[in-house]
Chain A
Amino acid sequence: MRPRISLALALAIWTAPLASAQVRGVVEVSGLAPIPLATAPTRGPRALALQVDADLAGHLTRSHWFDVVPGAAVPDSGPPLVPPGVSFVASASLAESDSGVVLQGYVHAADGSRQLGREYRAGPDEHRVLVRRFADDVVQTLTGQPGIAATRIAFVADSEGHPAIFSTTPDGAETKRLVGGRFECLFPRFAPGRPWLVYTAFPKDYPQLVMLDTSSGAVLSISDRPGLNSLGAIHPDGTKVAATLSFQGNPEVYLLDLAGKVLRRLTNHRSSDLSPAWSPDGSQLAFVSDRSGSPAIYLLDMEGSAPPRRLTHGFDSTRYAVEPTFSPRGDYLAFSGRGAGDMDVWVVRLRDGEFFRVTEGGPDEEAPEWAPDNRHLVVATRSGRNRGIEVLDVRVPGNRYRIPLPGRTGLRDPTWSLPARLSDSGRTP
């Protein structure tokens, strides 16, 4: 049932683009209220079970779809007992075998009916991987949206004296270095739907456009022309990449194949043109240009020959607009913009051009990228020398958390992948 738009809300929407907008979520009309969900203690070897309890509650809480309460009880036979006021119960049991671990995960509704029952298998000590998959299946089953616990976030952090590229899970539990150490590796971007990471590397002291296949470890040099070879974004079809090159005398956006051959020059202006970003169907390219005097975001239709049209306008925090990123469903574009002081994250709804401000004041929030659930953004935060990687919820601005990355410095430039495949999960018992 559509809630009636209140006068106050209507006023806020009317005046938002003209005034210094307050921080508020991206308002969707339906399905806002968190679902009350209880978790039951995991059955299985005690130490592992406690870890599963903690992980499951954490993933479900951080999805922001649920009000998570502990304390459901699982009797020896029959479905779990649902506390009053709770709509669903998630429960799991864990067993170790010679070949690894097995997790059985369930969701029951308040009436005792089973909504989800699935078995997950992995190698020894990989129970935390299974819990992430189960948590995402809980989200998918109860909300219809993809979960984000089993995804990976790549980011830049200092390593051996240079910026290098790492990846982690949104809970920060599994962090590892992907590339880097002896020279700068910067500006990582995951390819949509593929385990590929395009980035900029300086092995010979100038910027080269490089791609890493994270599943095989193979590294491919795409372009090392004179000048810039940087800020690459792989096309959704996986055969092309847009990037900023300057070999013809000015930073411009080009379309290349993965062997580095120029397929098309996409911009032709004496300004700087950079930071290309693809819409999910590849039909549009957003990019940054300072052709109007300061950096703004433009949209280029890949079909036809119309010139790029400017999306962000020269007022307040959208005066300096950079780092565009399309949402997975293509309905929003997020970016970072600077107003009177710091950098903040903004979202524009593409169907009507409405702007929403997601962060305000305090530290800089930069370089946003969408999570696969079309709801969360990962951003780099900066306050003086302190840098961090945080996850924002565009619907509820207060739902933000920092990814724990202890000891890491120089944190910046995050990018979000789609979930990795798990070979043996998903069989219904």
Chain B
Amino acid sequence: MNRTSRVPCLLVAALALAITGCGGRKSKPPSEVVEKPPAEVTPAPEGEGRDGPDTPGFDASAGRDPSVWSGDLPLGDSAPEIGRYDEPAGWDLGPDPSRPRGTDELASDEAQALFADVLFAFDSYRLSPEDRQRLTETGRYLRQRPGWSLLIEGHCDERGDAAYNLALGEKRALTVREFLASTGVAPGRLLSVSYGEERPLDPGLGEEAWARNRRAHFRVRR
């Protein structure tokens, strides 16, 4: 570039700098509320078959650290294959049909409140003061039932990057786990897992659905 064309180049650049500023705009999450569509049923395409291996021969013993993962809690080798979220064999929060009516603790209002989902703000894994208050009671309840174990699932809404959401779900589960451990529940009784955005409670679009999905969900083993 020769000298005479450099000056207007710099002037325009300076002008562009002044107009746009240096900080950039804050990005806002979309906030439209959309009516929830009916649940979709997707039939498998024709000729699906089983083209590839889908029952891998896993070596489940690889790299298990016993100090973090209690050997007493079989979410590993001996757990039945839990295929679907709504059939969590062995881990249940609802009333147990095999128990006599009126005697299932988990069906009580108190238990339902203590083990209700912890909800999170967008892109956050922070616990509110109300969350901490409630989870302190949840911890007390668990300490009174030493045979119980708790699985804490971390979930996200569907916005943003799926990989980042897997990590964010993990932070949500770990935060709740750490808080419960800090109330005196033995860490070996607390397990955590992240499903990221993969297993939403509410498949709808819009903030109402998304808010329900940003959660830590509890499953109890007694």
Which residues of chain A have a CB within 8 Å of any CB of chain B?
5, 7, 10-11, 14-15, 18-20, 158-161, 163-164, 176-187, 201, 203-208, 210, 212, 217, 219-228, 230-231, 244, 246-251, 259-262, 272, 274-275, 288, 290, 294-295, 314-316, 319-320, 322-323, 336, 338-341, 343, 366-367, 384-385, 407-410, 412-413
A259 and B62 within 8 A (CB): yes
Q: Given the complex, which residues of B lie within 8 Å of A384, measured CB to CB?
A: 205
Other-chain residue from B16, B65, B191, B205 in contact with A225 (beta carbon distance below 8 A): B65
Q: Could you tell me the distance between the alpha carbons of A315 and B26 in the complex, rounded to whole angstroms? A: 8
B45 and A408 within 8 A (CB): yes
Please report which residues of chain B, range 142-200, place their CB below 8 angstroms from some CB of chain A when the two chains form the complex: 160-164, 166-168, 170-171, 174, 178, 191-194, 198
Q: Given the complex, which residues of A lie within 8 Å of B60, measured CB to CB?
A: 204, 221, 224
A179 and B27 within 8 A (CB): no
B79 and A177 within 8 A (CB): no
Q: When each residue 26-53 of chain B gets 1 if its CB lies under 8 Å from chain A and 0 otherwise, what string results?
A: 0110100000010010101110111111
> Per DSSP, are chain B's interface residues mostly helix, strand or loop, or mixed?
loop
Q: A176-B52, A222-B62 are in contact. Are A205 and B22 (CB under 8 A)?
A: no
B166 and A207 within 8 A (CB): yes
Q: Given the complex, which residues of A lie within 8 Å of B8, measured CB to CB?
A: 7
B58 and A10 within 8 A (CB): no
Q: A14-B13, A18-B22, A323-B161 are in contact. Are A272 and B171 (CB under 8 A)?
A: yes
A11 and B13 within 8 A (CB): yes
Q: Given the complex, which residues of A lie within 8 Å of B88, measured CB to CB?
A: 205
Sample (11) of A-B pairs whose CB atoms are under 8 Å apart: A15-B13, A179-B52, A183-B83, A224-B58, A224-B62, A226-B191, A227-B170, A227-B192, A339-B25, A366-B161, A367-B162
Q: Given the complex, which residues of B lie within 8 Å of A223, measured CB to CB?
A: 62-63
B81 sits at the interface (CB 8 A):
yes
Q: What distance in Å separates the Cβ of B172 from its nearest Cβ neighbour in chain A?
A: 11
In the complex, number of A-B residue pairs with CB atoms less than 8 Å apart: 215
- A-binding segment of B68-76, B104-112, B209-217: B68-76
Q: Given the complex, which residues of B lie within 8 Å of A207, measured CB to CB?
A: 166, 193-194
Other-chain residue from A19, A230, A320 in contact with B160 (beta carbon distance below 8 A): A320
Q: Could you tell me the distance between the alpha carbons of A148 and B95 in the complex, rounded to whole angstroms? A: 56
Other-chain residue from B42, B56, B123, B168 in contact with A409 (beta carbon distance below 8 A): B42
Q: Could you tell me the distance between the alpha carbons of A203 and B60 in the complex, rounded to whole angstroms? A: 11
Tally of chain B residues near chain A (CB < 8 A): 69
Q: Given the complex, which residues of A lie within 8 Å of B171, measured CB to CB?
A: 250-251, 272
B130 sits at the interface (CB 8 A):
no
Q: Could you tell me the distance between the alpha carbons of A203 and B81 in the complex, rounded to whole angstroms? A: 7
**B54 nearest in chain A by CB position:** A181
B133 sits at the interface (CB 8 A):
no
Q: Given the complex, which residues of A lie within 8 Å of B123, measured CB to CB?
A: 294
Please report which residues of chain B, range 50-104, place their CB below 8 angstroms from some CB of chain A when the two chains form the complex: 50-60, 62-65, 68-69, 75-76, 79, 81-84, 88
Q: Could you tell me the distance between the alpha carbons of A244 and B171 in the complex, rounded to whole angstroms? A: 13
**B76 nearest in chain A by CB position:** A204
Q: What distance in Å separates the Cβ of B88 from its nearest Cβ neighbour in chain A?
A: 8
B13 and A203 within 8 A (CB): no
Other-chain residue from A176, A219, A261, A340 in contact with B27 (beta carbon distance below 8 A): A340
B162 and A221 within 8 A (CB): no
- 11 extra A-B contacts, CB within 8 A, seeds A15-B16, A314-B24, A339-B25: A161-B84, A179-B54, A205-B75, A206-B75, A207-B166, A210-B56, A225-B69, A228-B166, A249-B68, A259-B62, A272-B167
Q: Could you tell me the distance between the alpha carbons of A294 and B28 in the complex, rounded to whole angstroms? A: 13
Q: Could you tell me the distance between the alpha carbons of A176 and B52 in the complex, rounded to whole angstroms? A: 8
Q: Given the complex, which residues of B lie within 8 Å of A408, measured CB to CB?
A: 45
Q: Could you tell me the distance between the alpha carbons of A125 and B193 in the complex, rounded to whole angstroms? A: 47
Q: Given the complex, which residues of B lie within 8 Å of A224, measured CB to CB?
A: 58, 60, 62-64, 76
Q: A11-B9, A206-B193 are in contact. Are A219 and B53 (CB under 8 A)?
A: yes
Q: Given the complex, which residues of A lie within 8 Å of B198, measured CB to CB?
A: 163, 184, 186
Q: A222-B62, A228-B170, A384-B205 are in contact. Are A322 and B27 (CB under 8 A)?
A: no
B16 and A19 within 8 A (CB): yes
A228 and B83 within 8 A (CB): no
Q: Given the complex, which residues of A lie within 8 Å of B13, measured CB to CB?
A: 11, 14-15
**B69 nearest in chain A by CB position:** A226
Q: Given the complex, which residues of B lie within 8 Å of A15, measured CB to CB?
A: 12-13, 16-17
Q: A177-B52, A272-B167 are in contact. Are A320 and B27 (CB under 8 A)?
A: yes
